[in-house]
Every structure is written in C-alpha cells, then in structure tokens.
C-alpha cells in the first residue's frame, strides 16, 4: 500500500464522519438553528459524503474489497474523537469499550 | 433487553412512532433488509451489469429501503447523541451476515462468527446504560 492510498482511505473515512457530524448538526433538537441553516448543514453532509463515496469507489477499483473493507471499522473510532470534539458529546469508559469491540468486530466480519 | 419504551411526554400513536430508539431499531432492520434485497436484485439481473439490475423489483425495493433507513436515522439523530446512535447502528453489521446466512444460504466462517460476537457484545455494552435510563422515565 502506498502512502497516497493510505491518505485517500483516511480522507474517505474522515469525509464520511464529517457527513454524519453535519447530519447531527442539522437534526439535533438540542441546538437552536433556523430551518434554512439546518437545510444548509444537511446539504453539506450530503455533499461531503458523496465526495467520500467517490474516493472510496476509486480505491475499490484499485484494491481488493477484503483489504479495504476492514478500514470501515476505524470510522467509528474517528467518529468518537470528532463527536466529542465538535459536538461535545460525553465519552464514558463503557462507550469506549463498546466502540473498540464493535470496530474490531466489524473488521473481522469484513475480512473473513 | 427491554428494547423500546416510550418517553412519558409522547402518548399519541404518532408520538410513539417518532421515539428515537424505535426509529434507530427500524433503521437497523431496514438497512440490513436493503442489502439483502439489493443482493437478490443483482443476482436476478444475471448478466448486464448495474443498469440492467434496475429492471429488478428487488433493486427498487432495496433502494426504497435505503431511503427509509436514512429517514429513520435522521429522526433518531434529533435526540440520540451521534456516538451512541452510530455505534448502535453497528448492529447492522451483525444482521447482514446473519440475514445472508438465513435467507441467501451464504456460509459464515469461524472468524466472522467471532466478529459477529464482538459487535453484539459492543452494542450490548453501549445499549445497557440506555435501557436503564429509559426505565427511569
């Protein structure tokens, strides 16, 4: 795997995570935001996810799915970091334990 | 697990349907079903590639299911923290191989069973404190 491929995999995962953060910002009942602002955030989420999706498609055309898919396990670890950073969501020890178990599990389900 | 319970504020049928945890459950089941439908559709299309598969009713059903799962995901995001919602939806990763085993007759290797077990364990660990919280409502 080249350095560039690794960067592209990470970029694709980060864009998927960014999309989810935009969705949360668009939907959250706990935030005060005008409807227009929410629609804008939703559209940002769709755009960012679409770019990530096409990068992923490009990677899929060059690498085996069994090599690429386990990286999907990482996205929930990235999401945990960014959600606690940007959305100030509280992380507990239980939550970290669950996140890590699911990540490893997803990677195993995907590879085997 | 007690599964879905209704918040005290929402007593109407519509209000109960909008319960975020019910919506998250719907999202999990419907997105797993979507993958199975799409696979059935892709298989029934035989040769001809992605465009020909649009002629299959299964593919359309799969796409409708995908849109439906997105809608319930968005409703769930109104109140459930993103980290929790995203990881509970990880249960889809268990349902898809189990569904392909039951409905499509695909084999599950030993390593994949271990993965399924780990994901289930992780989801239970995350869901347990939520079930307790809901009980107090």
Token pair of A38 as six digits: 């929410």
ipTM attached to this prediction = 0.89
Closest partner residue to A94 (CB to CB) among B86, B120, B129 is B129
Give residue ranges of A with CB < 8 Å to any B CB: 20-21, 23-24, 26-30, 76, 79-80, 83-84, 87, 89-92, 94-95, 97-112
Please tell me which residue, B129 or B1, carries the higher pLDDT value. B129
Instruction: Tokens for A78, please give them.
Output: 């990235």
pTM, 2 dp:
0.84
- A104 and B115 within 8 Å at the Cβ level: the answer is yes
pLDDT tops 80 at residue B51? no
Cβ-nearest to A99 among B75, B87, B114: B87
**Does any CB of chain A come closer than 8 Å to the CB of residue B10?**
no
Question: In A1-112, where does DSSP find H-type helix?
Answer: 3-27, 35-62, 65-68, 75-86, 93-111
User: Is pLDDT at A105 greater than 90 in this prediction?
Assistant: yes
Angle between the N-to-C axes of helices A75-86 and A3-27, in degrees from 0 to 180, rounded to the nearest 10: 50
Averaged pLDDT, B70-99? 93
Radius of gyration of chain A (CA): 16
Query: How distant is the Cα of A3 from the closest Cα of chain B, in angstroms?
Result: 28
Interface test with A, best of B71, B119, B121 (most A CBs within 10 A): B119
Instruction: Give per-residue pLDDT as tens, A39-84.
Output: 999 999 999 999 999 998 888 888 887 788 888 889 999 999 999 9
Query: How large a percentage of chain A has pLDDT more than 70?
Result: 98
- For residue A111, count other CB atoms closer than 10 A to its CB: 16
pLDDT at B15: 80
Tokens 């085997």 belong to: A112
Q: What is the DSSP string of B83-119?
A: HHHHHHGGGHHHHHHHHHHHHH-----HHHHHHHHHH
Residue among A21, A87, A108 minimizing CB distance to B114: A108
Predicted confidence band at A111 (pLDDT cuts at 50, 70, 90)?
A: confident
């Amino acid at each position: 795997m080249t350095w560039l491929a690794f960067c592209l995999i990470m970029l694709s995962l980060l864009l998927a995570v960014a999309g989810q953060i935009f969705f949360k910002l668009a939907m959250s009942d706990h935030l005060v935001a005008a409807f227009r602002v929410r629609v804008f955030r939703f559209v940002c989420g769709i755009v960012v996810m679409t770019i990530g999706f096409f990068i992923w498609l490009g990677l899929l055309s060059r690498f085996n799915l069994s090599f690429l898919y386990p990286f999907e396990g990482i996205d929930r670890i990235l999401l945990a970091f960014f959600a606690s950073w940007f959305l100030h969501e509280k992380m507990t020890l239980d939550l970290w334990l669950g996140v890590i178990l699911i990540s490893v599990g997803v990677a195993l389900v995907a590879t085997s | 697990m007690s599964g879905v319970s209704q918040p005290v504020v929402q007593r109407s049928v519509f209000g109960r349907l909008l319960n975020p945890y019910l919506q998250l459950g719907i999202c999990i089941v419907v997105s797993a079903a979507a993958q199975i439908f799409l696979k059935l559709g892709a298989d029934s299309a035989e040769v001809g590639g992605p465009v020909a598969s649009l002629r299959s009713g299964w593919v359309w059903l799969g796409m409708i299911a995908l849109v439906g799962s997105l809608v319930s995901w968005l409703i769930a995001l109104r109140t459930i923290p993103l980290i929790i919602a995203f990881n509970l939806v990880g249960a889809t990763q268990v349902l898809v191989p189990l569904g392909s085993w039951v409905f499509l007759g695909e084999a599950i290797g030993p390593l994949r069973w271990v993965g399924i077990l780990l994901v289930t364990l992780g989801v239970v660990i995350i869901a347990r404190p939520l079930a307790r919280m809901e009980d107090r409502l």
